[in-house]
Every structure is written in structure tokens, then in C-alpha cells.
Structure 1
Amino acid sequence: MRLFFSFTSPFARKVRICLRELGLAGTVDEILINPWTDEKLRAINPLAKVPTLVSNDGQVIFESGVICDFLDEEARSHGKIDRRLFPIAGPSRWRALQLQALADGIMTATGRLFADQQRPENERSDFVMNRQADAVTAGLAALNDQIDILNADLPGIGEISVASALEYLAFRWPDEKQFPLPANLAAWRETIGQRPAMVETRFYLPK
């Protein structure tokens, strides 16, 4: 399999964390790419976005949640791991998917807000920027309300998504003054951040 990714994409990082948690890292060729300029990506994904996965049979899969779900099934079918990142059914499944949706929304809002802040002042929209900032702030509050269900020792897709979102905030605003984390959420991020899958996939700017 081939995974097209960039080091600054939180969604690509989420997939790369899942690869390692599932024991599949050695089965996937991780290809660093610039999705803004490399036309090879658009040739296989009409949206030209990372992450994009090409399976062994040539199937092209994109959108991080879909890719992670596919990898979860792939790991199970090849006996790579006993646990699932995606619960099969019932309340636990919906909790996991809702956590993923919340974390993905935080990552989207973070990315858009950061991009807008890089624009010249006369090209920014205060309304749009405030809306994105409000989404991040409210999202963090919602995560903090659920801190008791976040498992840092055996993370599923919800926790992996949350970890990627929290570290993406710290990557974009290293002083963490714009979006300070509640103490419990910061401690949780510190704990899960020590997992090998997190350490091996850290964000960094291309040189």
C-alpha cells in the first residue's frame, strides 16, 4: 500500500498514528508530498488532498476517517492486532465516531484560522476568523467535559483523533496562549503524546 501525506496535515498524522497502533507501518510506503503543487496527487485523488491511500489492489481511498476505518479492517483481516480502533456497534461505536467528528472539526477550524491569520490584514475576515476560533474554544471545552472517557493507554479512533487535534494546536501556536488547554486535557495530551506512534509522527515544517 502507499500513503501520500504531508508533515503538517493533522489528518494525515491521524492516519499515520493509526498505522502504527495497528502494526501496519511496515506494510505501507509513506510518500511525502506537497498537495498544493504535486499533480501526481490529483491524478489519483480528484480532490488533491492528503491523506490519500492506495491499497494493494489499486483502490484509492481518501478522507482520513475512511482510511483509518479501512486500515482497521485490514489489520483485523491479516491478524495484525486483536483490538479494534473502531468499535463494531452500540453506544461505544457512536461515542468513538462522535469523538472523531469533534476532533476533526477542531483540526479543520484550526487549519482555517491559522491560514487566515497568515493573510495580509486587509484580506482577512474577522467574522470568519472569530467563527473558527469559537469552534476551537467550544470544541476544547466539549473534550474537557469528556476527559473521563478518553483512554490514553489503549486509544481508539476517538482518542487518536483528539490527540492529533490537540498537538496540532500546539504545533500552530507553540506558546499556547491563544487556546490554553484545561489542566486535565493538557495532562492527557502529555500522557498520550509519549506513545511511540505519537513520537514517530510529530508535526514539523518542511525545510
Structure 2
Amino acid sequence: MKLFFSPASPYVRKVMVVASELGLADRIEKLPSAASPIKADQTIVVHNPTGKVPTLVTDDGLALFDSRVICEYIDSIDGKQRIFPAAGPARWNALREQAIGDGLLDAALLARYEGFMRPEELRWDAWMTGQLTKIDVSLAAIETIAGEFGDRIDIGTITIGCALHYLDFRFADRPWRDGNPKTAAWFERFSQRPSMTASSPFTA
């Protein structure tokens, strides 16, 4: 399998954490890319019309994109569905948590683009405030359920873990741990997993 990636992308990291947890990371060839919200990398566009990372090309030549799709594909390879619960309440709970984590990441990336990539004279303060508010509300929602995570490893906890680490990476000036003690305690343990340390953008 080949993965178009950027080491700083939290969505790429999500894919690699899933692959690592399943023991499949060494089957993925990582292809560096120049993905950008402003100018698409044409080597990606050939496989993914949005030009975004992550984009996975399977051994059969099928192009898959969006981290949610790629992660579920990787989880299906051995037929055991260890990361995506197969059915019932456990599946819907994991998918709901994935949606919370992805929503936090979406807001964080939009805030990052607004504050870092957009020319200063074109920046919209109300837009930035709106995205940062989404981050804070998402953190509050995670805090209400973090005490139930325990040592569970599924697409929900993986996505939330990657989202929290992205806040450390790009928003270190906004100490999210303040007011979220249950989330902070869980993340302290989760962030030490080999799958997380191996994929950290701090060491990429």
C-alpha cells in the first residue's frame, strides 16, 4: 500500500496510528507530498480529486481518501475489525467519538489556516473566534466521557488522541488541559502508546 502523507497532518497520523495498532504500519509505503489548501499537489490529484492527504493507494490500485474511509479499510484487511466495532452500541459509540475528534480537528485546522496561511490584512477575527469556540466546546464534550475511556483502543479514542496531540503541536499557547482533568489524565497514558510516539510530528 502507498500513502500520500504529510508528517504534520493529524489525519495522516490517525491512519498511521490505526495501522500501527494493527501491526500493519510496515506494509505502508509513505509518499511525501506537497498538499496545500491553496495549491493542490498534482501527484495526489491523479488519485484523489481533492488533492488532500491522507490518500491511500491499495495493493490492487484502488485509491481511497478521507481518514475515516482509509482507517476502516485498514481495519478490514485481516477481517477481525479490531478498531471499528462490528455492530451494536459499541460501534455507534466509537463512531460518535470519532466524529467529535474529527470535528475538533476540522476546527483546529481552519483556525491554523486562518492564523498562519491567510495574509494578515485578510484575516477575519470572528471566523477565528468561531473555530476556537468549537474547539473549546468539543473539549468540554470529551471531558464528560473521558473517564469511561479506560484502556479502550478503537477509532473513537484514536481520533480523540490524535486531535488532542494536534492541539499540543499547533496550539501550545492554549492550554487545553486546564479545566479538563479527566481528559488530561487519560491522554497522559494514551500518548505513551508506541503507536502514538512513533507517529508524533515532534519526531517526524
What's the TM-score once normalised by structure 2's chain length?
A: 0.91
- Report what 2:132 is aligned to: 133
Stretches of structure 2 that go unaligned for 5 or more consecutive residues are: none
Distance in 1 (CA, whole Å) between partners of 2:177 and 2:185 is 12
Can you list the C-alpha shifts for 1:62-89, whole angstroms capped at 9, x where unaligned? 000010001110133xxxxx66111111
What's the TM-score once normalised by structure 1's chain length?
A: 0.90
Shift of 1:148: 2.3
- Report what 2:3 is aligned to: 3
Distance in 1 (CA, whole Å) between partners of 2:44 and 2:197 is 27
The share of aligned pairs that are identical, in percent, is: 38
Ranked by relative contact order (alpha carbons within 8 Å, sequence separation 6 or more), the top structure is 1
Note the aligned Cα RMSD (angstroms). 1.7
**SS in structure 2 at match of 1:75:** coil
Write the letter of the residue equivalent to 1:191.
Answer: R
Write the letter of the residue equivalent to 1:160.
Answer: I
Distance in 1 (CA, whole Å) between partners of 2:202 and 2:35 is 16
Aligned residues: 199
Stretches of structure 1 that go unaligned for 5 or more consecutive residues are: 77-81
- Report what 2:27 is aligned to: 27
The yes-or-no answer on 1:63 pairing with 2:66 is yes
The ranges of structure 1 where at least 4 consecutive aligned residues each deviate by more than 3 angstroms after the TM superposition are none
**SS in structure 2 at match of 1:99:** helix
Can you list the C-alpha shifts for 1:88-147, whole angstroms capped at 9, x where unaligned? 111111100000001000001001112211234431112211111111000000000001
**SS in structure 2 at match of 1:23:** coil
Alignment of 1:161-172 (within 5 A): 161-172=159-170
Asked if structure 2 preserves the Cα contact closer than 8 Å seen for 1:69 and 1:86, the reply is yes
Distance in 2 (CA, whole Å) between partners of 1:157 and 1:111 is 20
Asked if structure 2 preserves the Cα contact closer than 8 Å seen for 1:117 and 1:124, the reply is yes
